[in-house]
Amino acid sequence: MPIYQLIPEPVFPPPQMADDNGLLAVGGDLSPQRLLLAYSMGIFPWFNEGDPILWWSPDPRFILELDRLHVSRSLARVLRRGSFEVTFDRNFAGVIDACADLRLQSGEGTWITPQLRDSYVQLHDMGFAHSVEVWRADDLVGGLYGVSLGRCFFGESMFHRASNASKVALAELVRRLRHLEFELLDCQMPNDHLRSLGAQGIPRDEFLQRLRRGGVMPSTHPDPGPFRLD
């Protein structure tokens, strides 16, 4: 199956045209308009620094149903004790920088290039990208960030510098999304950590139907949805 070379205008081929690995297209840019169109179509960017921009729409798609978060006994104790302070959108730049830095320090490499980082900061300033911060005293010890459209949240990355801190961030995000009656939390690609927390794969066509049910329609100017601090 061909991999599509994007043109300067913010357009994408149908996500069903992705190859068996989920790779759909290459090139284009990381403008807010293109990123918003991508998410609204079930597409996301993922590439290494120095590589061309790659756009993905895997089948199956990994998601977390908001009523199926697995909270272990140890995590439940941490949540009950209130061991951490949790905030939303207090330090978006700090969270995305920490997600990138910890992976670089571990030798894993990171897809959060300076260009990508700046684009998501722009989306945050526009009200589309959000962060969850986990604090111990004044230290940022965990968190996650992602994009909210309609009643769907597209998770991007998480980090922790203290045991359970990223799990606390996820649990508090899920609590907020359930309160707002969101449709789903997108996890994109499978990994064992998210699987242990209850995430699962669903067919891409079903995922796209769920986006529409959550009020997400293909657009360069989609509805940011009800995710707010209040």
pLDDT at 48: 86
Helices assigned H by DSSP within the chain = 32-40, 73-81, 92-105, 114-125, 165-179, 192-196, 204-213
Once rounded to an integer, what is the mean pLDDT over residues 17-39? 97
What is the C-alpha to C-alpha distance for residues 179 and 153, in angstroms, rounded to an integer?
Answer: 13
Residue 170: strand, helix, or coil: helix
pLDDT at 109: 55
Q: Write out the residue limits of the CATH 3.40.630.70 domain(s) in the chain.
A: 62-213
* pLDDT per position as a tens digit, 141-193: 999 999 999 999 999 999 999 999 999 999 999 999 999 999 999 999 998 98
What is the C-alpha to C-alpha distance for residues 168 and 166, in angstroms, rounded to an integer?
Answer: 5
Residue 4: strand, helix, or coil: strand
2 — pLDDT class (breaks 50, 70, 90): confident
Q: Write out the residue limits of the CATH 3.30.70.3550 domain(s) in the chain.
A: 4-58
Closest listed residue to residue 219, CA positions, set 45, 66, 83, 32: 32
Q: How many CA atoms lie within 13 A of 119 on its CB side?
A: 18
pLDDT at 1: 66
pLDDT at 110: 64
Closest listed residue to residue 200, CA positions, set 60, 54, 91: 60
Please, what is the angle between helix 73-81 and helix 165-179, to 10°?
Answer: 80
pLDDT higher than threshold 70 for residue 43: yes
pLDDT at 101: 87
Tell me which H or E stretch contains 185: strand 184-188
pLDDT at 181: 97
Once rounded to an integer, what is the mean pLDDT over residues 14-22? 97
* CATH number, domain 4-58: 3.30.70.3550
* pLDDT per position as a tens digit, 26-35: 999 999 999 9
Q: Which fold has domain 62-213?
A: Aminopeptidase (3.40.630)
DSSP-assigned letters across all residues of 11-37? ----GGG--TTSEEEE-----HHHHHH
What is the C-alpha to C-alpha distance for residues 169 and 33, in angstroms, rounded to an integer?
Answer: 28
* pLDDT per position as a tens digit, 85-143: 999 999 999 999 999 987 666 656 567 889 999 999 999 999 999 999 999 999 999 99
Q: How many CA atoms lie within 13 A of 214 on its CB side?
A: 34
* pLDDT per position as a tens digit, 4-13: 999 999 999 9
Residue 168: strand, helix, or coil: helix
Least confident of 80-84, 106-110, 197-201: 106-110
pLDDT higher than threshold 80 for residue 81: yes
Q: Is the dihedral of CA 118, 119, 120, 126 positive or negative?
A: positive
